[in-house]
Amino acid sequence: MSSAAQPDLNATVGDRAAPAATGVVALQVDGLVVEFATDRGWARVVDGVSYAVASGETLAIVGESGSGKSVSNLATMGLLARSARVPAGTALLEGTDLLELSQRQLEDVRGDRIAMIFQEPMTSLNPAFRVGDQIAEVVRKHRHASRRDAWRRAVEVLDLVGIPRAADRARAYPHEFSGGMRQRVMIAMALACEPLVIIADEPTTALDVTIQAQVLDLLRATRDELGMALLFITHDLGVVADVADRVMVMYAGQAVETGTVDEIFFHPMHPYTEGLLRSMPQVGTQGRTLASIPGQPPAPWSMPGGCRFAPRCPYAIDACRAAPVPLVELTPGHQVRCVRAHELTLRGAA
């Protein structure tokens, strides 16, 4: 306990070298652009986002609503609405560009090599079918297993995710499960074919904290056991601190900072990251005004010409507004999109 109260930050940062360098890259997204058709023409909601996630690693994508964190992952899974298009970018999974695949080819990949867990499991599960059958269907489709083998696998994964009496509960319908248990069913379904990559989009946001702790533990344990890559999309910095090895911070459709979780929390280099960290209610702020980032994120059709965060940034100077700012690697594994990154000393988590 005493060591926790006074953490030796340098030692910890050194202990956890960028895991991307150690694991095999499972999913690599490069230069992804997503646009939506609006009354004002094509609105660019994801603008040149690149990231890679390695086997056995958790990459958290953080950002406020509208930052493009969910849309970029829906794009790689081929799950965007018809009103959207992906004019540029690649998403390589085992040497295949997911963005080049037809819907039919994608169906073979989804649920098999890459699986997704959403925020609200009740809308992802079919209320009219037993959960065991829904999981078995995935196995039958991808593994061409017999009914009996597929059912056996369904019970096996339900047991793996900690559903008590899995053989009985596989015969239950989604409404017979609580919210936390339903999310376990979704995780079981995602694990059924032992995918290379799991994309979890706010998987615990609708859950109570005690259930959230159970689900985060389960995701961590299964990732370690099966060596999957875990892409975790969330707005909750507490959850990020809990699950992530590396973090990508998104703002207004762009990555503004990427680094190890310790670098992002203790040595943020982008003013937006600092603003997010400072906005977390900290112990000892009672009676004081909470820090907040003034203003609103820009709309996709009225993006500032220079740095997109400049209108809200306390450190902005004329150079920030002059031209778009590139993402630059300042220290190994730590990239930041800020003109003044080299001269600013920003405050991290307390």
Q: 122 or 280, CB closer to another protein?
A: 280
State how far the Cα of 24 lies from the Cα of 26, in Å rounded to an integer: 6
Phi-psi region of 312 (alpha: psi -120 to 50; beta: other; left: phi over 0): alpha
Q: 330 or 349, CB closer to another protein?
A: 349
State how far the Cα of 105 lies from the Cα of 86, in Å rounded to an integer: 17
How far is C-alpha 123 from the geometric centre of its chain's CA atoms? Answer: 19
Q: List C-alpha distances in Å: 189 to 49, 183, 243.
A: 28, 10, 21
Classify residue 293 by its DSSP letter. -
Q: 67 or 134, CB closer to another protein?
A: 67
Q: How far is the CB of 280 from another protein (least distance, A)?
A: 5
Q: How far is the CB of 63 from another protein (least distance, A)?
A: 9
Q: 49 or 239, CB closer to another protein?
A: 239
> Which residues lie near another protein (CB under 8 A)?
1, 3-5, 7, 9, 12, 64-65, 178-181, 208-214, 216-217, 235-242, 244, 261-262, 265-266, 275-277, 279-286, 289-293, 296, 349-350
Q: 294 or 326, CB closer to another protein?
A: 294
Q: Where are the beta strands (DSSP E) in 192-326?
A: 197-201, 229-234, 246-251, 254-260
For the chain, the distance separating the N- and C-terminal CA atoms, rounded to the nearest angstrom, is 17
